[in-house]
Structure 1
Amino acid sequence: MDEDVLSTPGHLISLAARGFARLSESRLKPLGFGVGQLPVLVALQNGKASTQRDLARFARVEQPPMAQMLARMERDGLIERTPDPADGRSSRIVLTKTAQECMPKAIAALFQGNREALAGFTDAEAGQLADLLTRLIDNLDQIASAELSSGD
């Protein structure tokens, strides 16, 4: 059977992800944020993480790229680092007042972009799409974990 590689879910999801990234980037840039910073901003805002290690785990990225992103965010005045009272070698990371003030606008812009991208979808279809993508991500995480542990 001759399958069209460009019609596979993997390729279509990749196209959709790039489209969302472009849309989000254009709406976040005027607020001083980058789309790649979103997991960090959300984790810090919601108190889900406060160290570089926790943020890397939360955002599902390796430590070196997280360190680079945090350095840029600190340079741009989005985060501040303070010594961790429990561990002198580590630092706690918090959003600056400026970043905190811009977050509601950024979140509103992202939700608006999602609504526009899902125009013509019913609420049930949008919910089902989110559920299916969540399951797909879980499957991909399991595959990656299995391949990492078998490579040890």
Structure 2
Amino acid sequence: MMFDKDFSAGYLANHMARLFAIGLQRRIAPLNLAPAQFMTLLELWEDDGLTQAELVGRLDVEQATMANTLKRMARDGLIERKPHPKDGRAQQNWLTERARSLQEPATKAASAVNEAALAGLTQWERTALIELMRNTIANLQKTQRPS
């Protein structure tokens, strides 16, 4: 039996993710944001002051990738890094005013990408797709965690 990419959940999810990333990148470029910065900002807008390790866990990215993203964000004036009051090895990442001012335009840009992607789907189809995606992500996260 030959592998059929048109019926591969992994292939299709990867293709869809790349298209979402391209659409997001185009829409947030005028804000001088990169997609990795936007993903990190989403977490910090929800819960300011997270550490690098907490962000790694929430975003399922490598430590080195997150370290580079945070370094760029500090350089670009999006976050301020301060020592963690209870863990001398960790730093908390705090939003700057610039980062807070980008929340509305950046999330509107992301919503526009989502809306374009889901155009033509009924509300039931949209809800079902999102729920199926959440379940699939949870399944994959279970398989990635060490036993």
Ranked by relative contact order (alpha carbons within 8 Å, sequence separation 6 or more), the top structure is 2
Give the deviation of 1:85 after TM superposition: 2.2
Q: How far has the Cα of 1:98 moved from its partner?
A: 0.6
Moved more, 57-66 or 46-55: 46-55
Q: Runs of 5+ in structure 1 lacking a partner?
A: none
Which residue pairs with 1:18 in the alignment? Answer: 18
Matches within 5 A, 1:9-88: 9-47=9-47, 50-88=50-88
TM-score (norm 1): 0.88
- Would you say the 8 A contact 1:39–1:58 is kept in 2? no
Give the direction of change, closer, same or farther, for the CA distance of 1:87–1:124 in structure 2 (3 Å limit). same
- Farther-moved stretch of structure 1 (124-133 vs 35-44): 35-44
Match of 1:102 in 2: 102
Aligned to 1:133: 133
Shift of 1:2: 4.2
Please list the CA deviations of residues 21-68 of structure 1 after superposition, one character each: whole Å capped at 9, or x if unmatched.
Answer: 000011111112111223310111111661111111111112221111
Counterparts of 1:103-122 in structure 2, within 5 Å, are 103-122=103-122
Task: Compare 41-50 and 119-128 and name the one that shifted more.
Answer: 41-50
After superposition, what is the alpha-carbon deviation per residue over 1:79-133, rounded to whole angstroms, capped at 9, x for unaligned? Answer: 1112222233322211111111011100011111111111100111011000001
Work out the percentage of aligned pairs sharing the same amino acid: 37
CA contact (8 A) 1:24 1:35 kept: yes
CA RMSD in angstroms comes to 1.6
The SS at the match of 1:88 is coil
